[in-house]
Amino acid sequence: MSKKIFVTKATMPDMDEYFKEVEDLWDTHWITNMGPKHNRLEEMLSEYLDIEKENIALFVNGHQALECIIEAFELGTEKNNKGELKNEVITTPFTFVSTTNAIVRKGLKPIFCDIKESDYTIDENKIESLITDKTCAIIPVHVYGNVCNVEAIEKIAEKYDLKVIYDAAHAFGVKKEGVSYASYGDASIYSFHATKVFNTIEGGAVVFKDREMKQTLNNWKNFGITDPEHVEYIGGNAKMNEFAAAMGICNLRHIDDNIKKRKIIYDKYIERLSDTEGLLLNNVEGKESNYAYFPIRIDKTNVSRDELFEELEKNKIYSRKYFYPLTSQYDCYKDEFDSSQTPIARNIAEQILTLPIYPDLALEDVDRICDIICKKLK
């Protein structure tokens, strides 16, 4: 009987390694409030991402990290005389709903820019036409390990004096000619959710250029408390706990090996599926990648994406329509935004499917997945 294969599986260290890492917590009883493990993980991440420790802050998850950095930049909740949000942020609807929700929850209006068919990232050639006197920032999204055209985006931002915050949830560890993409923009946010290339069970981080923001971010994620008798910010509670940090410490020791294992699986998919008619692949050959996801697009008249999704599910293989629908099409936004204004993103969202990929996925299981796909699309 065939086993179930899920689209992803949380990467975890050896049980003994993790238990050894958390053992001293039973001595100290310091399990939250930015303890030693939290601080050690910050140090390790700063080394891995090639940034200074003063330029990173850890969070309970990537969503809170994004909300916090938006607020820290004071992008505003200013309204016009009609009571409508005045400040606008140019972003993409081809993303997880967290990106759009964070923008709206911080009192800003998302202005959706279309994406490129080549790599699913924001189309930098369409950004400038969307800029108005209300625009205060650009929040591009790195997708599936594919990174945005950071040089072009930063030229636009400099020309119009805009902040750039990258949603880098999919781009942990990705570099360009040895330079970490964490160094681009005014800030980048990372998600360390269990499904990501690197996880802390739940967690996230902000990397930022202005090191003076560090204390503000740390205060904000601790209710705005600046000392036992003073609260200077209307902050929240978004601290990473010590057990999550310990998981991150362990997982970071093995991150390079795990990315290499992902590449082997990625290459196997490319080998098996490259010549399949009606299938469009995200081939990263010649680019640096973390192989976070393996997306395919079904572009065949007699077989739909949903039919292939169902066929895989019948065989206990659980792929994901990721990202579908566009965030602009969700119930909470569809009356406010017109998805026809981003036709490429809408079309890709209706074709996209991400296949299982994680470090210990067996190659024979990859073959089985490919056999089912090829047979269905024949």
**In this predicted model, what pLDDT tens digit does every residue of 309-362 receive, in sequence order?**
999 999 999 999 999 999 999 999 999 999 999 999 999 999 999 999 999 999
Report in angstroms the alpha-carbon separations of 223 from 1, 107, 228.
52, 19, 12
Which of 324, 52, 64, 272 lies closest to 169 in space, CA to CA? 64
Do the Cβ atoms of 205 and 214 come closer than 8 Å?
Answer: no
Alpha carbon 27 to its chain centroid, in Å, reads 35
Predicted pLDDT of residue 338? 95
- Indicate the angle between helix axes 213-220 and 62-72, nearest 10 degrees: 120
Q: Is 17 exposed, middle or buried (0-12, 13-18, 19+ CB in 10 A)?
A: middle
For residue 309, the SS3 value is: helix
Predicted pLDDT of residue 219? 94
Do the Cβ atoms of 151 and 125 come closer than 8 Å?
Answer: no
- The first and second tokens of residue 218, run together, are 């740390």
Q: pLDDT digits over 166-213, tens only? A: 999 999 999 988 889 999 999 999 999 999 999 999 999 999 999 999
In the predicted structure, residue 152 carries a pLDDT above the cut 90: yes
- The first and second tokens of residue 118, run together, are 């080549």
276 CB contacts (<8 Å, ≥6 apart)? 373, 374, 377
Q: Which helix (H) or strand (E) holds 62?
A: helix 62-72
DSSP class of residue 330?
S
What percentage of residues in the chain have a pLDDT greater than 70? 97
In the predicted structure, residue 85 carries a pLDDT above the cut 50: no
pLDDT band, residue 2 (cuts 50/70/90):
confident
- Within 10 angstroms of residue 305's Cβ, the number of other Cβ atoms is 20
- 34-38, 98-102, 230-234, 243-247, range with the lowest pLDDT: 230-234
The whole-angstrom separation of Cα 240 and Cα 57 is: 10
Which of 142, 50, 162 lies closest to 96 in space, CA to CA? 142
When the pLDDT of each residue in the chain is averaged and rounded to a whole number, the result is 94
pLDDT band, residue 79 (cuts 50/70/90):
low
pLDDT band, residue 77 (cuts 50/70/90):
low
The whole-angstrom separation of Cα 293 and Cα 31 is: 33
- The first and second tokens of residue 373, run together, are 């796909």
Predicted pLDDT of residue 287? 78
25 CB contacts (<8 Å, ≥6 apart)? 31, 37, 242, 243, 246
Half-sphere exposure of 250 (CA within 13 A, CB side): 20
- The first and second tokens of residue 235, run together, are 């902050």
Task: Note the pTM of the prediction, 2 decimals.
Answer: 0.95
Q: Which helix (H) or strand (E) holds 226?
A: strand 225-227
CATH numbers and ranges of domains, the chain: 15-253 (3.40.640.10), 255-377 (3.90.1150.10)
- The first and second tokens of residue 166, run together, are 């990258």
Which of 269, 240, 277 lies closest to 37 in space, CA to CA? 240
Predicted pLDDT of residue 78? 58
Q: Which whole number is the average pLDDT over 242-270?
A: 98
Q: pLDDT digits over 301-317, tens only? A: 789 999 999 999 999 99
The whole-angstrom separation of Cα 237 and Cα 223 is: 5
What percentage of residues in the chain have a pLDDT greater than 90? 91
Predicted pLDDT of residue 84? 45
- The first and second tokens of residue 221, run together, are 């994620």
DSSP class of residue 73?
T
Number of residues that make up the chain: 378
In the predicted structure, residue 261 carries a pLDDT above the cut 70: yes
